[in-house]
Amino acid sequence: MKYNKKDYIQISGDLFEEVQLKRIFRDSKTFVDSVPKKDPREILHQYRNLHADEIDLKTFIADNFEPPSDSTIKIDLPKNRTMEEHIGLLWNYLKRDKVNQSQNTTLIPLPKPYIIPGGRFREIYYWDSYFTIHGLVISNEMEIAENMLDNFAFLIDEVDHIPNGNRVYYITRSQPPFFAAMINLLSKYNGVQWQLKYLQQLRKEYDFWMNKKNRLFELNENEFLNRYFDEDNLPREESYYEDFQLAAGFDENKQKEFYRNIRAACESGWDFSSRWFYDNENLTKCITTHIIPVDLNSLLYFTERKLAELYKLADNKIEEKNFLHASEKRKQLINKYNWKDNFYFDYNFMERKTTDIYSLAAVYPLYFGIASDEQAQYVADIIEKEFLRAGGLITTTNHTGQQWDAPNGWAPLQWLTIVGLRNYGFSKLADEIKNRWLKLNRDVFNRTGKMFEKYNVEDTTLFAGGGEYDLQDGFGWTNGIALALAKDLDLELN
């Protein structure tokens, strides 16, 4: 692989471990995003030649590393602005110009400007970007919207897939594969033939997910579905202390299994949620790699449909037929393994049964047209009965203290649900969700002047909680979906 984690002293080696385990920074992501002020070899030589009782580690790090700054720091926007005006002004603060190559930073250089989520998230993120792009389109920021896709195509060429984000420590995992959906979204403005520029990269992205060694699982003979994974089985560099502490009581084999499952949960984007916990327990019982997620396989279904479409445009009838067949096979398997008791669930292949965790991942088959009309009716009924709250939709029906569970709501899941319901004619429920979510966004903005990463949809007077870090503002996907819903553009896929 082009980028080797061991080449970066911020994410590997004895200095890195000591900084993280001694909690020199409150947020473990701070050090891995720092940049050495001089040759890393010189810093390591100096560090290793100092006796433990001679070194003030905090001072040593301050002298030798440039820490990152939060992306939304020092934002000075005019008062008395509307939420929409605020978001329009915010794009420039969340924009990052192309990054030149540097051997010392963990940031992977990208050829074109891009939008970051905000706060501690100082880099481009894969699945965030799909929802951010919706807002860029509405703000007439078409050039940077297309730049986002070009940067992802570049990353596929560079590292064979789209990583979690453009950081070296993210390259062993991806995120929910929305690349085909991004291409589809912008094709509405650039035309169908325009999509062919990404055919090679989309195929390469698909091949990454279909690697039988890790992300593809055979449930029965010739019945393959996908799971989330990570090539590494060590603590996450950006959450090293947290992972190390959680695994402290495990033996070595159990630690490796735990670290891989935690990393795989991060690949899902739902880090963390009861979706990934054995028997609905807690983070130490994370079993992500045992799960066949309904959202991931819905995304890969759409990727197969998009590849079939692009191969048809390229007049490659053999590949068109192959991918149409693959998509139909996957659709059948999703409905075989992920559908139970009138709802879509994740499937635990180790126990040969669904997890029975009620989550908004169930709306993906509606968003991508996999569900039948009857199935969509059942899902809509359960969404209205079990998920709808004062501020929109809860993420799961479980209260665990994790950020991807109740009482939190997230912009991308509101959007996927609203559009998925509209695809099947449930416009009244979709509008109710939209109105409640937008009201919450506006109310919180009017109180704080900020757009947040997530919201408490059960008690709308409280901020959202959970997670390994403080509540982040900015915020790319919240901004994008707020604009899309406020404009009420009909951007559904089907």
Q: Report pLDDT for 74.
A: 59
Q: How confident is the model at residue 494 (pLDDT cuts 50, 70, 90)?
A: very low
Pick from 286, 255, 252: which is nearest to 270 by CA? Answer: 286
User: What local confidence, expressed as pLDDT, does residue 269 receive?
Assistant: 98
**CB-hemisphere CA count at 13 Å for 202?**
26
Question: Tokens 């060694």 identify what position?
Answer: 213
Cα distances from 483 to residues 86, 106, 182, 392, in angstroms, run 11, 32, 17, 16
Reply yes or no on whether the pLDDT at 475 is more than 50: yes
Average pLDDT over residues 466-477: 75
Identify the residue with better confidence: 451 or 70.
451
Flag whether 189 is in a domain.
no
Please give the DSSP secondary-structure letter assigned to residue 278: G
In the predicted structure, residue 95 carries a pLDDT above the cut 90: yes
Residue 454 falls inside a structural domain: yes
Q: Which residues pair with 225 in a beta bridge?
A: 217
CATH code at position 376: 1.50.10.10
Q: What is the pLDDT of residue 391?
A: 99
Residue that terminates a domain, selected from 66, 86, 108: 66
Q: Which domain holds residue 58?
A: 5-32+34-66
pLDDT above 90: percentage of residues in the chain: 87
Domain total for the chain?
Answer: 2
**Is residue 400, in this structure, part of any structural domain at all?**
yes
Environment class of 444 (CB within 10 Å of its CB; exposed 0-12, middle 13-18, buried 19+): buried
Q: Could you check whether the bond before residue 31 is cis, i.e. omega within 30 degrees of 0? A: no
CA torsion, ordered 149, 150, 154, 156, to nearest 10 deg? 30
Per-residue confidence band for 468, with pLDDT thresholds at 50, 70 and 90: low
- Name the one residue in this structure whose structure tokens are 């951007």: 491
pTM: 0.96
Percent of the chain at pLDDT > 70 equals 94
Phi first, then psi: give them for residue 140, nearest 5 degrees.
Answer: 60, 30
Domain boundary among 66, 85, 110: 66
Of residues 421, 443, 442, 423, the one with CA closest to residue 433: 421
Strand stretches in 25-122, DSSP E: 35-36, 65-66, 95-96, 114-115
Q: What is the pLDDT of residues 260-310, one digit of tens each?
A: 999 999 999 999 999 999 987 789 999 999 999 999 999 999 999 999 999
Give the integer Cα–Cα distance in Å for 490 and 480. Answer: 14
Radius of gyration of the chain (CA): 22
Task: Return the minimum-mean-pLDDT range out of 194-208, 378-392, 475-489.
Answer: 475-489
| Cα–Cα distance for residue pair 455/131, rounded to 1 Å | 16
How far is residue 9's CA from residue 20's CA, in Å, rounded to a whole number? Answer: 12
| pLDDT of 493 strictly over 60 | no
Amino acid 173: pLDDT: 98
Length of the chain: 494
Residue type, 292: I
Q: What letter would DSSP give residue 220?
A: E
> Which pLDDT belongs to residue 279?
82
Contact 43, 62 (CB under 8 A): no
Tokens 């010392």 locate to: 104
Confidence of residue 433 (pLDDT cuts 50, 70, 90): very high
Within a domain: residue 466?
A: yes
Looking at 66, 84, 113, the residue that finishes a domain is 66
74 is a domain residue? no
Give the residue carrying structure tokens 């048809």.
Answer: 312
Amino acid at 326: A
Average pLDDT score over residue span 358-373? 99
Residue 490: predicted pLDDT? 44
Burial class, 136, CB count within 10 angstroms (exposed 0-12 / middle 13-18 / buried 19+): buried
User: What's the confidence (pLDDT) of residue 405?
Assistant: 98
Partnered with residue 348 across adjacent β-strands are 291, 353
**Shortest CA distance to 117 belongs to which of 107, 138, 132, 106?**
132
Residue indicated by tokens 């970066």 = 8
Burial class (CB in 10 A: 0-12, 13-18, 19+), 242: middle
Q: Is the pLDDT of residue 426 over 70?
A: yes
The single-letter DSSP state of residue 109 is P
Q: Which residues are tagged catalytic?
A: 271, 453
In a domain, 397, yes or no: yes
Average pLDDT over residues 95-121: 87
Considering the chain, what is the average pLDDT of its residues? 94
Q: Could you tell me if residue 312 is inside a domain? A: no
Torsions phi, psi for 389 (to 5 deg) = -130, 180
CB atoms within 10 A of CB 425: 12
> What pLDDT is attached to residue 315?
99
Evaluate whether residue 362 is within a structural domain.
yes
Backbone angles phi, psi at 2, to 5 degrees: -60, -40
C-alpha distances (whole Å) from 478 to each of 118, 258, 450, 455, 473 are 11, 31, 11, 10, 9
**pLDDT recorded at residue 296:** 99
Tell whether the model's pLDDT for residue 452 goes beyond 70. yes
Structure confidence by residue, pLDDT tens digits, 217-230: 999 999 999 999 99
